[in-house]
Structure 1
Amino acid sequence: MGLASDLWIVSSPSAQHAEPIVLDLWQGGRSDPNELKSINISGQPMLFFTAGFPSSGREPGRAIGNRASIIRDVIRNASGSEPREYTALNGWVYFFLNETSSSTGVLWRTDGTDQSTERVTYIYRNDDSRASWLTSIGGRLFFAATRDNPNNVELWSSNGEPGTANAAVLTQNINIFGGSFPENLQGQTLDGVDYLFFSADDGLNASPGEESPDRELFIKNVTTNTAAQKFNLKTTGGSNPRFFTRFQDRCYFIAENDNGLQLFSSNGATVQVVALPEDVQIVKYLTISFLSCPALSVEARPVVSGNYLFFVAQDPIHGTELWKFDGQVASLVTDINQGASPTNPHFLSDVNGTLYFAAATDAEGVDLYKSDGTQVEPLGISPTGPASSRFTSLTQVNGRLYFFKSDEGNCSRGELWYSDSNGDTRKFYDFNQVGATKFGQITVVGPDFYFVAEGFGNRVEPGGNLTPGNFGNELWYVRAEVCPSVTLAYTANADTVHFLCRSQGLVEPIHTFNPRLPDTPCPGDTCYRSNNPALSIHPRVGFINTNTTPPGTYEISYQYSDRNCVDTLSIQTTVILVDVPDPQINGPDALCAGAVAVYQTTEPPDGAPYRYLYNWKVSGGTIIGGQGTSQITAQWGHVIDSTEYVQVDIQVEGSPCRAETPLPDEPGSKAVRLTPQPRAVITSDNGGLGSLCVGIPYRYRSEQPFNPLNRYTWLVEGSTFTEIAPNEIEIVWTTPGQGSIRLIEALESPTAFCADTSEAISLQILESPGPITTNDRFVCNPPHTIRLQVQANDAALYRWYAGPTDTSPVQETSTGIWAVE
């Protein structure tokens, strides 16, 4: 038998996206798409948007993959209906549009097809309803609108069903003096209850926007359909709540109280302030300055990422920095720009539990950063020095961050970049090396994404061909995962760790390509490489020769290319060649029957990233401990002279590879010679045990039958003995007192010496009585006293008999003297 060897395979494939293509909605012009919204209709993710179409004006559009078109020409002229605020409810997409110049803010719906696109209801017929802030929660639509005059905007709702009484109804007249102008409508489900959060002003002189004098928080319980409750967070003036964000089953938002801007939380029924360290103020808006580019005014919207709610705050010591809240305590993440100078973190974006954001330092200007909440790491994209880059449209797409980057000196042009979880940050598309203008609005739809830009690219034609050119401000499409993702294995199982047995010899790689085979599976003649030339691998087909590869750890890279991929794709694989040697068993190989012994075998090398599994077998005995480990304790049975075996199989955990089960006398099997164990027990057939008399012969022998192979050694104290046979002796005790006998019974074989010693038998040796003496042997009448006497023995009891046939003594004495008259 040879060595059994295992290969461990660890794969880390990469994913790619196709090159963006232009969906040229207005060929020769510019469609200026906006209102991009991803909505799933009957299991099909779609993009809904508003764009200008030739001869139709700005109308609702729909895109599925690389096919984009107008849904319906609502106003059949070049002016367009200007649809807006696409919102999903019950398999429909709802939106507001303008039917005529005098009838604006009409509620419509569509499922993405022309024939099913219809009006739900007029809100303010033949006038402007000023409908806005459309949102859905609890199976209903909510929005702000008016029916009678422009200054009476209130909270409305709809069941979404055309021609019904509840197609558009006033939900609550919050301001009796005029309109309350509800804004920032946001539905939240907290602890199973649906709530609508929004801001409104129920006082005099109410107006749209944060300038309204008493704009406060309102919360409506949609589940119970009760009136919205007002929360006065600020004594004088409005608190202007914004950025309603769900975190740990509570709604968090930024608003102002008498102490300034604060972070608040609500369960829908009550509102609390999140405690911040002293002198720390929440930041609601930011202005980002650049050396030569126009400043950016951005919202400082809190974002949930991983286990934290991240937000922007400022204090006199650290300036404006990134903060976090874990549900209990709010704390600074780190002082990125050391000292009181502001970092101004902006465009906070979550990517699978990692927060990405842009921030500025005095030394390096604006750059991109990422954080897990415990530390902050710069991506190092901007040029070194204070000259900054601008980063916009930070968006997660399939675990990657996509964004637009524009540099100082060319502020109006941007390039599309990405950064992945492995730290790979690179340019994705540069629009023919000159960048794009009017770029932004990255919107994820299923696995794909869309964006809007004006620049050089390839337009998709109806037949699928691509036409290059410069295009106006149009919709662009990026197909995700078009480049094949690959897995590499050397066994058929789906585990991340794979094993090969060395006895397999040549083993070919097993690849899976999803969704298809790449355009070039092996560029050139070398697509398999290793960091160690000792690995015997074929560079073109990937065969591994396990017989000629020594044990060790190897890195294998496999490279392939595809015409639509950004770069040549590669996969890294770790291969660990593991030797499983033939088992060697250490332990006694010659024992007496009934003995207990310990046996050990091979263990993995120190630091090995695997474990051995052990299966022990013992013939003629019992495993009493250690099964499954490298050491067992065995109890051998009481058998007649025989040869038994200890065997062990070794397997690498999780692997089919093992050291083969050996036959007796082969490696992995240990022969054990068992010698019968004698049992030394002394018996006596004529009362030779206990108290004995001097001068009487006693016989002693071994209780077991005579075995000519055994050696018998008699140990007698207090007398000599005569050997009748090796297992039998005779003793005549000659001296009163104490005596003892022991027997050692031994069996010596060529492989073992087995012996047993009996327990020592203690004996009491007594002196026999002497002859009787008398003063008169003949007795005559008249009466006469007769005195009989024997040699006295203090330990003896004397029984005296009157006649030769008497069986019962007439007297017992202890002095050895009997006097009878």
Structure 2
Amino acid sequence: MFRKKFLYVFVIFTLLFIPFNNVLATTAYGIVDVNTSGSSSLYNMTAIDGVLYFEARNSAYGKELWKYDGTTTTLVADINVGVGDAFTDWSANTYTKYGDSIYFHADDGLLGYEFWKTDGTTTTLVADINTGVGGSLPLFMTVLDDKLYFYANDGSLGYELWSYNGTTTTLVADINTGVGSGSPSYLINFNDVLYFQANDGINGVELWSYNGTTTTLVADINADAGSSSPSNFVILNDTLYFSANDGINGVELWSYNGITTTLVDDIYEGSTGSGIYNIKVISNAIYFQANDGVHGRELWSYDGITSTLVADINPSGDSWVSVLGSDSAENVIYLQASDGGSFGTELWSYDGDLLKMIVDINVGPGSSYPDRLYSIEDTIYFQASDGTVGSEVWALVSSPILTGWTISTTTLRLDWNDVKYASEYTVSTTLGTLTTTNDNYYIDSGLTPNTQYSWQINTVDLD
């Protein structure tokens, strides 16, 4: 079926005298619909080597691993053969490249959630760490030196730190000795050392490290048995930043320089805490959601010196903003947010000056909840739901851009760039004519000199 996308290029001129005015717009196309008969419940979309991998449900295969290469959508593997699901609807899966393969967890219907890999063509069980149907649920996979590290549960020692060297899986450390779980989570490689949150059963959930030989409690930020629960780890300018609660200031922004942990800023003064969340590095700053007690949960930034409220998107409450990512040049930041008005939680952009909602994907007060945004070859991809077919893969598309024009006494030719995912174009004029074309140009003849005309070029995509 055809679905028009109203991307506007306005051309207003008096023939032979008035120049062109090119007004640009941006919208989004739903480009992948794995389950045409209902919602595919697409989740955990990840870009690796220019290919999008994601979990999605199809009526023939259940919820399995798929990929999209910019042209074609392909089932990577039917891991749980038949209509069974290899993934849950809200799994916290992590897809990580190690060597020539991508590693993740999946359930084949026999062994529970175990350690798997794929090279995009062949998909294989790496190890049944928790023997039998229990499943080890490996998560937070991160590469350090020549090994892949993750947390997993072998059924005896709880969730602990494991490694894989390309051949063998090995228990690295039993941080919470015995059957208790150390739960080493949110692993990040900082200066060739792994950092993560973990619980040794004594100091609560705190900041730990592993240098390839030894696991160490880095800092007991919330003293004694209290938990600081460090998370949202990012690296900027040779410093590790994260959210943590010291038991005095609430959840705030912290840093670690390899020697000392430091409270960066007490944005919401007192014990309440700003609830720092969703920290992302873009260009030379970090962006995050925080509440200063005045503006609600809004967009903030930190440049290594100062914390700043970037925008109060919802002046009457919380925007619940989440930083999704940026374009490849890091000139535009993309956000998930709600302004509390006529629209729900939709896709927004911020270029350092202008903050705007880009497109209302779930039209009206409904929310599309855009997430998992990636820039691949100058195209922005993300997952979102239009409220009809559930969460799917979407792409941002700019309006046609005029690349040239030719004018004679009574004839005008307009040329524009090729718009990705547009199957054809419509051209309407003030003469009341509407033309559909597959070409990237339009010729209008029989015009009257010294007369004002306008042309509007729209794109149409084919679903």
Shorter-chain TM-score category?
A: 0.5 to 0.7
- Equivalent of residue 302 in structure 2, options 383, 397, 419: 419
| 1:349 alignment counterpart | 234
Mapped contact 1:454–1:473 kept (Cα < 8 A): yes
Letter in 1 for 2:321: F
Q: Spell out, residue by residue over 1:590-626, the C-alpha distance to the aligned partner (whole angstroms, 9 max, x if none).
A: xxxxxxxxxxxxxxxxxxxxxxxxxxxxxxxxxxxxx
2-structure distance, mates of 1:357, 1:416? 16
- Equivalent of residue 389 in structure 1, options 274, 280, 301: 274
Letter in 2 for 1:255: A
2-structure distance, mates of 1:394, 1:169? 32
| 1:181 alignment counterpart | 86
Corresponding position: 1:96 with 2:5 = no
| 1:233 alignment counterpart | 129
Letter in 1 for 2:183: V
Q: Spell out, residue by residue over 1:95-153, the C-alpha distance to the aligned partner (whole angstroms, 9 max, x if none).
A: 522785x2665xxxxxxxxxxxxxxxxxxxxxxxx665555657876555666646x44
| 2:264 alignment counterpart | 379
Query: Equivalent residues in 2 for 1:290-689 (5 A)?
Result: 300-407=185-292, 413-421=296-304, 423-430=305-312, 436-445=318-327, 446-448=329-331, 449-455=333-339, 473=345, 475-480=347-352
Corresponding position: 1:282 with 2:154 = no
2-structure distance, mates of 1:136, 1:451? 18
1-structure distance, mates of 2:42, 2:303? 40
Task: In structure 1, list runs of 5 or more residues that go unmatched.
Answer: 1-54, 61-65, 73-82, 84-94, 106-129, 205-212, 285-299, 457-468, 483-821
2-structure distance, mates of 1:229, 1:415? 43
Mapped contact 1:158–1:169 kept (Cα < 8 A): no
- Equivalent of residue 141 in structure 2, options 231, 241, 244: 244
Letter in 1 for 2:253: L
2-structure distance, mates of 1:384, 1:169? 50
Q: Rate the CA distance shift 1:441–1:400 in 2: closer, same or farther, 3 A.
A: closer
| 1:587 alignment counterpart | none
| Percent of paired sites with the same residue | 28
Q: CA deviation at 1:160?
A: 6.3
Q: CA deviation at 1:324?
A: 1.5
Mapped contact 2:142–2:150 kept (Cα < 8 A): yes
Q: CA deviation at 1:393?
A: 2.4
Letter in 1 for 2:302: S
| 1:195 alignment counterpart | 101
- Aligned-pair Cα RMSD in Å: 4.0
| 1:260 alignment counterpart | 158
Q: CA deviation at 1:240?
A: 1.0
Q: CA deviation at 1:430?
A: 3.9
TM-score, normalization by structure 1: 0.35
Q: Rate the CA distance shift 1:473–1:389 in 2: closer, same or farther, 3 A.
A: same
Secondary structure of the corresponding residue to residue 227 of structure 2: coil
1-structure distance, mates of 2:254, 2:282? 17
Q: Spell out, residue by residue over 1:357-388, the C-alpha distance to the aligned partner (whole angstroms, 9 max, x if none).
A: 11112222222110123210101324443222
Mapped contact 1:240–1:256 kept (Cα < 8 A): yes
Q: Rate the CA distance shift 1:480–1:247 in 2: closer, same or farther, 3 A.
A: farther
Q: Rate the CA distance shift 1:341–1:435 in 2: closer, same or farther, 3 A.
A: same
Letter in 2 for 1:228: T
Letter in 2 for 1:311: F
Mapped contact 2:60–2:83 kept (Cα < 8 A): no
2-structure distance, mates of 1:159, 1:414? 36
Letter in 1 for 2:84: G
TM-score, normalization by structure 2: 0.59
2-structure distance, mates of 1:471, 1:278? 47
1-structure distance, mates of 2:47, 2:307? 37
Q: Spell out, residue by residue over 1:666-689, the C-alpha distance to the aligned partner (whole angstroms, 9 max, x if none).
A: xxxxxxxxxxxxxxxxxxxxxxxx
Q: Rate the CA distance shift 1:414–1:480 in 2: closer, same or farther, 3 A.
A: same
Corresponding position: 1:215 with 2:104 = no
1-structure distance, mates of 2:186, 2:275? 18
2-structure distance, mates of 1:185, 1:480? 31
Letter in 1 for 2:349: Y
1-structure distance, mates of 2:47, 2:320? 31
2-structure distance, mates of 1:432, 1:187? 35
